[in-house]
Amino acid sequence: MNFLIKLSDRLGVLRSDIDYHIVRASMVLIFLFFGYQKWFDYEALALVPYISNGPLISWMYPVFGVRGACVFLGISEWTFGALIFIGFWNKPAGVLGALGGLASFVCTTTIIPFMPDGWAASAGGFPAMTERVAFLMKDFVLLAVSFYLLKQDLLRLSLSNDQRGDEVLSDTVRRTA
């Protein structure tokens, strides 16, 4: 274990932001590919049991219809992914993308208790999730990742604002001296 720690330290992994950048890039890819799926009829039909039973998203079918709701989700996912991507260079855009991710994954995780036949009768006395609920379980991790990106971008914005404030203060001090 010590060898791995020393090697990671030598390579700079422990002092770099590589984890933050990998997590950000992963979210961009997830939103890109999940958004891409929404343009096809097979995905619109596959989402019917999810959207129909989502307490926060079931309103989309009466408003947009089945295809329109799917397109709305695709556009939203591409928008959030684009904002997260732009967040590599522009932290306010990253904050907006992370907030979009939070909203998206709160909406999907709240479907879990309302999914009909989402849980098998029993697996040794404990309810076992079916594939529909299992598909949604990944969204808990994506919700946590969205929160992580939001926290990191807000922290980086805060630090950059503090540095700007320090620069303005030192300029003022120099001018008055």
Domain-located, residue 151: yes
Q: Residue 151 and residue 95: Cα distance in Å, rounded?
A: 8
Domain for residue 11, yes or no?
no
What distance in Å separates the CA atoms of residue 160 and residue 176, rounded to the nearest whole number?
A: 24
- H or E segment at 89? none
Report how far residue 75's alpha carbon sits from residue 81's, in angstroms, rounded to the nearest whole number: 10
| pLDDT tens per residue across all 177 residues of the chain | 888 878 777 777 777 788 899 999 999 999 999 999 999 999 999 999 999 999 999 999 999 999 999 999 999 999 999 999 999 999 999 999 999 999 999 999 999 999 988 887 666 667 788 889 999 999 999 999 999 999 999 999 998 887 765 565 555 555 555
Q: Domain for residue 113, yes or no?
A: yes
Residue 40 lies in a domain: yes
Note whether residue 166 is domain-resident.
yes
> Which stretches of the chain are DSSP H helices?
2-10, 18-37, 41-46, 48-52, 60-86, 91-109, 131-176
**Domain membership flag for residue 4:** no
The residue among 105, 112, 101 whose CA lies nearest residue 149 is: 101
Residue 5 lies in a domain: no
Domain count, the chain: 1
For the entire predicted model, the pTM comes to 0.83
The residue segments making up the domain with residue 136 are: 17-176
Distance CA(139)–CA(9), nearest Å, equals: 32
- For residue 9, being part of any structural domain is answered with no
